[in-house]
Amino acid sequence: MSKTVDLAAHPLTVWQGPLGLPDFSRIGDDDFGPVFDAALAAHRAEIDAIAGNSEAPTIENTLAALELAGEALDHVSSIFWCRAGAHTNDTIQAMERDISPKMSRHFSAISMNEELFARIDDLYQRRDSLKLDPETLRVLEKTWKGFVRSGAKLDAEGKKRLAAINEELSSLGTRFGQNVLADERDWALFLDEADLAGLPDFLKSAMAEAAEMRGQKGRYAVTLSRSIYEPFSTFSERRDLRETAFRAFIMRGQNGGTTDNTDVVRDMLKLRAEKAKLLGYGSFAALKLDDTMAKTPKAVHDLLDPVWEKALEKAAADQKELERLATEAGSNEKFAAWDWRFYQEKLRAEKFAFDEAELKPYLQLERVIDACFDVATKLFGITFEEKKGVTVWHPDARAFVVKNADGSERGLFLADYFARPSKRSGAWMSALRSGYKLGNGATPVIYNIMNFAKPPAGEAALLSVDEAKTLFHEFGHALHGMLTDVTWPSVSGTSVSRDFVELPSQLYEHWLTVPAVLEKHALHVKTGKPMPKALLDKMLAARTFGAGFATVEFTASALIDMAYHARPDAPAEPLRYEAETLEKLHMPDTIAMRHRTPHFGHVFAGDGYSAGYYSYMWSEVLDADAFSAFEETGDAFNPELAERLRKNIYAAGGSKDPEELYTAFRGKMPSPEAMMVKRGLV
């Protein structure tokens, strides 16, 4: 099949459209399959040539050759995944199911290639005598570690055991997720009109739809989907129903029978501990944290423990106030976990009565885009020039040329802002091509995808505050890709550890609410007047409300994740261990963990955030601390600091250890202080 594809001439692999982009008008949906097959075969041949090279290994003939191999595969993949997310159809979807396992087999074969590893290992052992620049040394070390973590150094028996463990973990992870899904699907509390006291209309209609889907048209269903459960427990006046829903929600995955996850978790923790030991690590957390900014469980605790103490104090104070409200409302029951959200909402309405819709006319999409660009120009000197009439994957997607301060071209920024049925939900950043200098080098082609509602023709698109923040967030990721200034492709742009990658994006959000930015760009769609400061202040004040509860429920889950994985062995009875650990932590019985063990999908439905749930908060610490550096100077655009930020964070990718990068920018490691202030905990 691949015989007919000429990779040196195909529009998927050779980009000859406007601005050097792929010519999307010449790419058919049916092209992907054969081009993928040809590109995979070409990459395999390149790998074989590197592995089988009769010359002694050098950085050029091994490490650089490995990094530059697979260009056709990179090109077809980046276009395919862009289409799969931003503009898909049945053909693309069917192909996705075919291509995902093909790709994973392909890359796992490379990481198991013994001849290839022998050459990398040879370079690694001689690394001190090779006189490498720091970036090359880091890429060599990361590459070597990647092989080792995939089991390259194990003997045949060890390799076999590792493969068996990985396979078993992957099927247990799938089962875990399916069990939670089954419990969520099978439970529903059917209500009638008379049971709906306090519920807002949006919730009633969601519950009506949920009931109809379950064959009870005309009734209302409370389900265990977070989008129904949370508002229900926030608004329902019926304490008995709130309790029923609460108990069902926290027991997902622990209801006995075939969908119970108790044994799945026990087996997974055992296998993870064994895997860590096999690979030479003291614990599974040590294995997972090895290539992160935090590096060790101790560093994670140094962050989480003080936050936990403050959160407990704040939650205890908040609970007193909620108990007062409950008593005033005539309740004489002991305040319980199913009361918290309900009374917190009453308190919020009392303290921060405030309509988000008032803000919307001030946040026009076009002006918020301008604000993103403007901040980037002020901080980093780059400018953006839209090229009209350049069609990429969809007519709504737009192309901008990114220029350096001296007018030279830095790369391209593509943006596709409006929702449509062919686009998956959410917002994200990705690259059609990463920027790097190795070999012939490449300039970055970065894109942002959003899902804003498209306005009727001739009207301006207006954003909510959250949407404007999302635009800044994803643009921050895009800057990480566009400002990259590294040699090696594998450390370009966002190729950094999980607990560092959200720094450039979350940090960028801070500039949205800088007064000078709002004064210039947040102008009323009809009157052109800037947003009143009082309105903004009200919105900002409301943001820290309820932080005690939110921080306790999050941090409890993060601490349990760490407790499971930082031990050298696995607990015999994980759920008992969860209960004992929470007791030691003085977890209040009026707040539940955000995710209890039997349904903690981040940690058990696959490997994604195992020993990594902390990283959401870690990133928040980084962005709060980083922005406070600007606040300390009294200038949100302090040029000297902005240059340090560009050089060490946005341009550096993964070329250095994140701790070293952060310290070079900030002069010290971050402390959780600024985050706790931002959250309203202190």
List residues binding Zn ion (CB under 5 A).
Answer: 502, 505
The question of whether 660 is a catalytic residue gets the answer no
| Closest distance to Zn ion from the beta carbon of 11 (Å) | 31
**Whether 373 contacts 413, CB under 8 Å:** no
**Whether 514 contacts 522, CB under 8 Å:** no
What tokens were used for 136? 């090359």
Rounded CA separation 245/231 (Å): 11
Angle between helices 201-213 and 226-235 (to 10 degrees): 130
Query: How would you classify the pairing of strands 383-387 and 398-403?
Result: antiparallel
| Closest distance to Zn ion from the beta carbon of 261 (Å) | 29
Which residue number is nearest to Zn ion in terms of Cβ?
505
Rounded CA separation 658/661 (Å): 5
Looking at the Cβ atoms of 74 and 502, the one nearer to Zn ion is 502
Phi first, then psi, for residue 448 (nearest 5°) are: -120, 135
Rounded CA separation 389/386 (Å): 10
Long-range contacts of 169-173 (CB under 8 A, 24+ apart): 169/268, 169/271, 169/272, 169/275, 169/607, 170/606, 172/264, 172/267, 172/268, 172/271, 173/268, 173/604, 173/605, 173/606, 173/607
Looking at the Cβ atoms of 236 and 494, the one nearer to Zn ion is 494
Looking at the Cβ atoms of 183 and 509, the one nearer to Zn ion is 509
| Closest distance to Zn ion from the beta carbon of 22 (Å) | 25
Q: Which residues pair with 409 in a beta bridge?
A: 403
Looking at the Cβ atoms of 152 and 415, the one nearer to Zn ion is 415
Looking at the Cβ atoms of 261 and 505, the one nearer to Zn ion is 505
| Closest distance to Zn ion from the beta carbon of 99 (Å) | 25
Rounded CA separation 61/563 (Å): 44
**Integer CA distances (angstroms), 674 to 261, 449, 622, in order:** 38, 30, 9
| Closest distance to Zn ion from the beta carbon of 448 (Å) | 11
Looking at the Cβ atoms of 476 and 670, the one nearer to Zn ion is 476
**Whether 163 contacts 150, CB under 8 Å:** no
In the set 71, 184, 474, 509, the catalytic residue is 474
Phi-psi category of 532—alpha, beta or left, where left has phi over 0 and alpha has psi -120 to 50? beta
Phi first, then psi, for residue 223 (nearest 5°) are: -120, 175
| Closest distance to Zn ion from the beta carbon of 474 (Å) | 7
Q: Could you list the active site residues?
A: 474
